Amino acid sequence: MPVLCDAIASKGLSNLVVVAPDAGFAKKARQWSERLHAPLAIADKRRVDHSESAEVVELIGSVEGRTALIVDDFTISAGTLADAARVLVERGASSVYAAVTHGLLAGPAVERLDASPVQKLFMTDSVETQPVEFSDKIEVVSVAALLGEAIRRIARRESISVLFS
């Protein structure tokens, strides 16, 4: 989160609102919103059948006229991101971005992302996704410096908790 938040803050996105893709990620999304000094909205998903697919049916919070940033811990198919982005645009978001810590991007994920209203997906390099070819909508943010500092601190028996505050 700290590395992604810093990368997003450097983009100068104005009138930002952080969006949790579901109620289960709301607590973590609150940390993003506090770090980015932005309000929080929460998408409400429901599973329509016994498959793994879900659809966003409601949005708690206002996104109208704002730059929406969907945050999540990971994405595999980009289905939730694409669905949430569609709802955000329907609810008046001026633009939609997304950030995930781990981008696995399997199957049609890149194509789904490209067809969605998401303007840019920020993700770390924590997962090797090769040979998936990334589109221009994907920006990889390196966590190498963070991991290096964590290793240095562990070797010196120093706290690493300060890296994640």
Catalytic machinery residues? 45
56: closest CA among 25, 28, 30, 87? 87
| b/e per residue 91-112 (b: at least 16 CB within 10 A) | bebebbbbbbbbbbbeeebbeb
Residue with tokens 């399997």: 106
In sequence order, the β-bridge partners of residue 118 are: 96
With beta carbons less than 8 A apart as the criterion, state whether 162 and 152 touch. Answer: no
